[in-house]
Amino acid sequence: MGIATTFTVHVSSQHTNAGLSLRGSCHSTTAARQLEQAIAELITAGMPFIWVDCRYLLFLSWHGQRAIFNAHQRARQAGCTVYWCGFSASVLGQLADTGLHLLLNLLPAGGYQGPNALLQEAIPAALPTRSFKQ
């Protein structure tokens, strides 16, 4: 199986409930920067919790892992908690290879409590979306 050539970040926030849905493969510096920026925007908006649906994330390069680490550190410093939900076994293996899984708040997919619209297979067009061809 080849690595998908698109990485998409869907973002939704309502009151104090914010979330992202990561889809495709995050294997370029551009995609990693956009992932980090999307989380940073929610932190800056004062969201106390950010829920990240990772069920459709297929691959996470070291660039993507660095973005997750940076976002985790920024969130921690701001008093925000980021929950990473539903990583596949292969992506969890990538995180375990670097030890990053030990720092993150990992939950199974069923633990996700963010905006429900992000859980849909087809995301509603009204949600902000960042999509990157790699």
At residue 4, does pLDDT exceed 60? Answer: no
Q: What is the mean pLDDT of the chain?
A: 90
Tell me the average pLDDT across 64-79: 96
42, containing H or E segment = helix 29-44
Tell me the average pLDDT across 31-55: 94
Least confident range of 2-6, 44-48, 123-127 = 2-6
Q: Where are the domains of the chain?
A: 10-133
At residue 95, does pLDDT exceed 80? Answer: yes
Tell me the average pLDDT across 124-133: 64
Q: Over pLDDT 90: what percentage of the chain?
A: 75
Tell me the average pLDDT across 19-31: 93
Least confident range of 15-29, 94-108, 120-134 = 120-134
> Which residues, 6 or more positions from 52, have their beta carbon under 8 angstroms from its beta carbon?
19, 20, 21, 22, 39, 82, 83, 84, 85, 114
Q: Strand 17-26 vs strand 49-60: parallel, antiparallel, or unpaired? A: parallel
CATH topology of domain 10-133: Transcription Regulator spoIIAA (3.30.750)
